[in-house]
């Protein structure tokens, strides 16, 4: 049978400053899901990228005395570098200044205009540069944007508007579906807001902006963020005629932060309905990373640079911490000391030590070769694969990873109780089962900590396994293992 397609996206990132730990978190969430579905045999397409036409990118470029295009190119490369260093397995990286995006974004605008879904009017209201959004007075807290803690600008200018109100009943029906927005609380928030406010027509252009995509036929206006930025998810696929678009759209999962839920759960599907395209299947809304309870953000001065963390602790340690520590649907406080504790106690002590001592025992007692053995039912039953699958299906990645770790603990317990270092009679059988369990652990951990999974494959001298290989008794015997160095060097705690 042909593989099922699975299309997953992240939000695209503003490039007015360097990436922070929140950008890393979102990409890791999406990467875990993309890798999991590849493991299951799905035909996966994973998109991420950068939002380069925003006004605040232009302002940051001016402040740096760098031409805007050069500035966004320079900063976009840093986001691409982050993907590389985090081992993000994206299939495409879209930049919204690329010709392929500009051309299709303009075509989408033209389509909506020709249908009568876009008209010219006058916009009067507040505008937050940080959000790249027009906001109402009732949304302000102490006269400031609650997201960026800044007083928004009052704008009054000619604009093009999208007849979003036309699609209110269809968006309402979409939000009634429990599959459309996850978690449930975020879906209900959007539904409540829609029922309370209704859908108003949406301003989709800016006048006399020097940076951005020109409105076709009216270059006094630039296309505003909604049609420009949001459309990246289909422009990257070559909408409307590209093979990738026909194959992968609608997206299975679009991973976003909770601050842009309305944009993706309401505005984006309305635009799609306007061009007769299907809405995405699921909007997965994650919480914020916080520092001492405050949202990690470039604009509020709570940014944490992920690169030093990767260079100090390793990509897999950071990935492991972000997924294990923070439930996807909740906010979570980032704490470097907690990262070190998980690295030392779980990655180093539990997994690293298991591999290290098993390696020593095989070298000492089995001439460094995988011994003969048969699956031990006592160990086999300790792996709760159905529980892992259940958690992954409802995006409880932290619980899925914790369940895998339960099995790591069981394997450690098994080797401690069977004592192959002194029990020569069952030694080969025990060591075979431990090595086979390590192979299975490597497969299950590959979406979460892929570099470590690769090292486990190197240790066992085997290729990458897939989900069908998560069964006991598949480890070939008689082959030499390969010595691997300490997988997770420990880091001293700074607490007394």
Q: Which residues are catalytic?
A: 20, 23, 128, 131, 145, 148, 295, 298
How far apart CA 438 and CA 484 sit, in angstroms, is 14
Provide the β-strand partners of residue 50. 13, 95
Other CB atoms within a 10 A radius of the CB of residue 34 amount to 28
Strands 205-207 and 218-223: what pairing? antiparallel
Nearest to 363 by CA among 412, 435, 302, 451: 435
H or E segment at 257?
strand 253-257
Determine the angle formed by the axes of helices 353-365 and 450-460, rounding to 10 degrees: 10
H or E segment at 447?
none
Provide the β-strand partners of residue 257. 286
Name the CA dihedral angle for 445, 449, 455, 459, rounded to a multiple of 10 degrees: -20
71-to-17, 59, 128, 208, 488 alpha-carbon distances in Å: 10, 10, 22, 21, 37
Provide the β-strand partners of residue 214. 222
CB 470 within 8 A of CB 438: no
Provide the β-strand partners of residue 369. 480
- Residue 202 has which token pair? 């949406």
Other CB atoms within a 10 A radius of the CB of residue 33 amount to 23
Determine the angle formed by the axes of helices 385-393 and 397-418, rounding to 10 degrees: 160
Provide the β-strand partners of residue 333. 290
DSSP sequence for 314-351: -HHHHHHHHHHHS-TTS-EE--HHHHHHHIIIIIIIII
- Residue 95 has which token pair? 């930049």
- Residue 231 has which token pair? 């459309």
């Amino acid at each position: 049978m042909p593989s099922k397609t699975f299309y997953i996206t992240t939000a695209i990132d503003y490039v007015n400053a360097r990436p922070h730990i929140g950008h890393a978190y979102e990409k890791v969430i999406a990467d875990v899901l993309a890798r999991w579905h590849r493991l299951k045999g799905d035909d996966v397409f994973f998109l991420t990228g950068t939002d380069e036409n925003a006004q605040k990118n232009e302002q940051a470029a001016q402040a740096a005395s760098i031409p805007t295009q050069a500035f966004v190119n320079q900063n976009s490369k840093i986001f691409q570098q982050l993907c590389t260093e985090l081992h993000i397995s994206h299939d495409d990286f879209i930049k919204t200044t690329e010709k392929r995006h500009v051309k299709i974004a303009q075509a989408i605008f033209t389509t909506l205009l020709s249908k009568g879904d876009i008209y010219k009017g006058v916009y009067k209201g507040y505008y937050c540069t940080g959000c790249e959004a027009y906001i109402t007075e009732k949304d302000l807290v102490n006269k400031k944007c609650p997201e960026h803690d800044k007083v928004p600008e009052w704008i009054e200018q000619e604009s093009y508007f999208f007849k979003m109100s036309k699609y209110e009943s269809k968006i309402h029906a979409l939000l009634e579906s429990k599959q459309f927005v996850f978690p449930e609380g975020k879906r209900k928030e959007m539904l409540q807001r829609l029922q309370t406010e209704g859908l108003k027509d949406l301003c989709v252009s800016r006048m006399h902006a020097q940076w951005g995509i020109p409105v076709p036929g009216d270059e006094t206006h630039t296309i505003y963020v909604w049609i420009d930025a949001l459309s990246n998810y289909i422009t990257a696929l070559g909408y409307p005629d590209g093979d990738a678009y026909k194959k992968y759209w609608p997206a299975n999962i679009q991973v976003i932060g909770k601050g842009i839920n309305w944009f993706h759960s309401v505005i984006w599907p309305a635009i799609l309905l306007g061009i007769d395209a299907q809405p995405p299947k699921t909007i997965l809304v994650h919480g914020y990373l916080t520092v001492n309870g405050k949202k990690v953000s470039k604009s509020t001065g709570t940014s944490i640079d992920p690169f030093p963390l990767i260079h100090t602790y390793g990509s897999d340690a950071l990935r492991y911490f972000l997924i294990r520590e923070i439930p996807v649907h909740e906010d979570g406080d980032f704490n470097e000391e907690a990262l070190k504790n998980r690295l030392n106690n779980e990655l180093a002590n539990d997994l690293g030590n298991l591999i290290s001592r098993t390696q020593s025992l095989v070298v000492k007692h089995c001439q460094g070769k995988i011994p003969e053995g048969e699956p031990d039912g006592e160990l086999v039953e300790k792996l709760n694969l159905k529980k892992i699958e259940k958690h992954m299906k409802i995006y409880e990645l932290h619980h899925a990873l914790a369940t895998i770790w339960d099995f790591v603990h069981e394997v450690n317990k098994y080797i401690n109780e069977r004592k192959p270092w002194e029990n020569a009679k069952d030694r080969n059988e025990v060591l075979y089962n431990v090595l086979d369990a390590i192979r299975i652990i490597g497969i299950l951990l590959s979406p979460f900590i892929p570099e470590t999974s690769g090292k486990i494959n190197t240790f066992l001298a085997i290729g990458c396994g897939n989900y069908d290989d998560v069964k006991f008794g598949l480890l070939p015997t008689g082959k030499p293992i390969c010595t691997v160095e300490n997988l997770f060097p420990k880091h001293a705690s700074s607490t007394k």
